[in-house]
Amino acid sequence: MTKVTARELIDRFSLELLSGDEGIYRPITMSDISRPGMEMTGYFTYYPRRRLQVLGRTELTFLERLDTDVKVERLDKLCTQNTPGIIISRNLEAPPELINASEHAGVPLMRADVTTTRLISQITNFLEAQLAETTAVHGVLVDIYGIGVLITGASGVGKSETALDLVRRGHRLVADDSVEISQQHADTLMGRPPNLIKHLLEIRGLGIIDVMTLFGARAVRPFKKIVMNVHLELWDEEKAYDRLGIDEDKMSIIETDIPKYTIPVRPGRNLAVIVEVAAMNFRLKRMGINAAQEFSDKLMDVIEDYDRDEL
């Protein structure tokens, strides 16, 4: 299971560790963050103890109004053996009772100098990215006119050569050979290259080339959202390929489906241009312009007019 620790949060967001340093390597396994407002009133029945807890001005102001014994009891319940950490926002003062409870339970108590809303937003985005389910796909990821295109196909079919031609045409390489993909939201796939092969392309006959060195920083991207798949396969004379583009195939990655377009490969076909046009056509479809459907509708109108004339 992917996990993050309080130590990483401290380093990433320049947090101040107030107490509970014994637990700074406790795993944070959930991206959800809790503001324990109901818990401050004494209601712990559904307390999400495994979440990171954030205390803002509202919670701390309410705590100040409680009797010392009540305050100690509730803060002891807040700091459990499963709580990965507590963060105080706005650089507010931590109650002594909270410091004691966190120290006793080994729960890291940290402090940030940003507002509660911004703190929750920043940490949630970070945790969702770090804890997202990931997989690796053999292929090439290219940014074409802002469209993240995952090019797949059998080894040697021409994926890297197509990517190189696309880079020469002004598009940007994200990853070659292996694409690390994480699902950060219900329908969002983010692709990035493994660190070892970042900015590199393997071209048979030439070897490994550094795209950023050859074409400049504008030719690469560190990551990109994947929205479509172009699958390259050797031309099969006996296979009937889609000629209109009305029926849309899908590629499933983790729990998300993306449109898949199968392009047959044979000598004389300019794959880079075809992939580029596929991305442009996909963009037009998202804008409501579907040339294939418009042609099909016009064809049906012609057929219906012909049938009426025959009658």
Q: Is 37 annotated as a binding residue?
A: no
Q: Is 156 annotated as a binding residue?
A: yes
Both tokens of residue 71? 């305050």
Residue 177 annotated as catalytic: yes
Q: Is 14 annotated as a binding residue?
A: no
Work out the burial of residue 14: count CB atoms within 10 Å of its CB; fewer than 13 is exposed, 13-18 middle, 19 or more buried. exposed
Q: Please pick, among 76, 165, 177, 260, the residue that the annotation labels catalytic.
A: 177
Residue 77 annotated as catalytic: no
- Tracing tokens 């006959």 back to the chain, one arrives at 205
Q: Please pick, among 138, 185, 225, 286, the residue that the annotation labels catalytic.
A: 138
Secondary structure class of 59 (helix, strand, coil): helix
Report the 10 Å Cβ neighbour count for 136: 12
Q: Is 154 annotated as a binding residue?
A: yes
Contact 90, 113 (CB under 8 A): yes
- What b/e sequence results for 227-249 when a residue is b if at least 16 CB atoms lie within 10 Å of its CB, and e otherwise? bbbbbbeeeeeeeeeeeebeeee
Q: Is 148 annotated as a binding residue?
A: no
Residue 159 annotated as catalytic: yes
Secondary structure class of 271 (helix, strand, coil): helix
Q: Is 157 annotated as a binding residue?
A: yes
Q: Is 129 annotated as a binding residue?
A: no
CA count, 13 A, side-chain hemisphere, 309: 6
Q: Please pick, among 26, 51, 159, 192, the residue that the annotation labels catalytic.
A: 159
- Separation between Cα atoms, residue 193 and residue 223, nearest integer Å: 7
- Separation between Cα atoms, residue 44 and residue 264, nearest integer Å: 61
Q: Is 139 annotated as a binding residue?
A: no
Q: Please pick, among 239, 243, 266, 308, the residue that the annotation labels catalytic.
A: 243
Q: Is 170 annotated as a binding residue?
A: no
Work out the burial of residue 303: count CB atoms within 10 Å of its CB; fewer than 13 is exposed, 13-18 middle, 19 or more buried. exposed
Residue 138 annotated as catalytic: yes
Residues that constitute the known binding site: 153-160, 202
Residues that constitute the known binding site for Mg(2+): 160, 202
Q: Give me the active site residues, please.
A: 138, 159, 177, 243
Residues that constitute the known binding site for ATP: 153-160
